[in-house]
Each structure stands twice: as structure tokens, then as C-alpha cells.
Homo-oligomer: A and B are copies of this chain.
Amino acid sequence: MHFTQDRIDALDTRTRAHFINSLSGFKSANLIGTQDDQRQTNLSIVSSVFHLGANPPLVGMIIRPHSVARHTFENILQTGFYTINQVNQFIFSQAHQTSARYDRDESEFDVTGLTVEYLMDFHAPFVKQSRLKYSVKLVEQQHLAVNGTELVIGEIVDVYVDEGAVKADGFIDLHAIDTVAISGLDSYHTTNKLARLPYAKK
């Protein structure tokens, strides 16, 4: 099937959103934990977290500043701190529910039943049920004029991960800790291992 640019442009907004969101492939599923200066907590599912570099350890994400993630974005700018919590198959429905449009004074922790956890005096809250999570310090925020989104870049500070998931070579077995992947806007997936492949040589 061939979809020309004209045919894609002619799709209604929601259909186009489903279609275009499927094109990049499987996406990461993460909950972003923040709180404001008044200690009002916020939790937001984000499918745009991506690896940026290992040295220094950096992680990026794209946020739409007027979307349901607006409080997350404001809290990050206000405090400079956030947590990233991988979503696993036992909490994916609750994680998805954080994408509803709650008011600023409602905490997605309370409404979804996910449990607030504070670790090592870090300012932002973690999700207790997440089995791989880390604290992040804001490094840089860039407005992308091309479509009004924001690129948020953070430095990875402390990492908390299930015992046994970290292999001798540093690889973390995301399959073993039931981390899920997202496709499109709303489809959640567990995984099966195909293989780990050796470093490719000519």
C-alpha cells in the first residue's frame, strides 16, 4: 500500500495521529515523576524518551508543552529535577491512565494507585512499582521551532534496578523485568528475545 503525502494530509487529525505515530517503530514506555516547589506530585507517561549518550550519561525526551504533559514540563523547568521510571506489564494500564487531563492539584499517583517513593533525598518522586528507574538532572531544554515541541535533555544521576537484571557486561535485561514497548498512540507490548548479536565487524 502506498500513501502519498497528499493522501496523508487528507486524513482527519486523529487518524493521521495514529498513522504517523506508528511509523517510527516501537517506542519506550516511561513514567516521568516530578513535583513542584509546593511538593505537589505529578506523573506522566511519555513514549518519546530516547538514549542520547553514555559518556556523559544523557537521556532526551520530546514534550508538547500544551499537552497533558504540561505540568511535567513546568515542574522540570521550575525545579530542574525529574525521575524516569520504566513501565512494566503489571502497571501499563495505570501508566496509560496518567495521560488523562488532570488538574494541577490532582496527583496522578493518587488517581492511578501507583505508589510514590522517595529515594536518596532526590527532589522528584519515583514510582515504587517500576523495576528500573533513575533520577535525572535537567541539563538543557530546547524549543524546536519546526513544530513547537520541546527537547528536554537530562543527566542520569542514580539508577535503581531489580537485582539480577544487570548482566556482567553492563547490559540490562529489560525482558526479564517485564518492561513494555509502545506502538502508535495506545498499543502496549511485551517482548520475546530474538538474540543478542556480537559487535559487527567487516
Chain A residues in the interface with B (C-beta under 8 A):
1-5, 8, 11, 13-30, 47-60, 62, 84, 86-87, 89, 92-93, 96-102, 120, 132, 134, 139-140, 142, 144, 146-147, 149, 151, 153, 156-163, 165-167, 169-172, 174-175, 179-181, 183-202
Contact = CB atoms under 8 A, between A and B. Distances in A.
A140 B149 CA distance: 14
A181 B84 CA distance: 20
Nearest to A139: B146
A87 B179 CA distance: 20
Contacts of A157: 5
Given A20-B51, A58-B147, A200-B100, A189 B169 contact: no
Contacts of A99: 200
Question: Which among A23, A49, A139 has the greatest number of chain B C-beta atoms within 10 A?
Answer: A23
A174 B20 contact: no
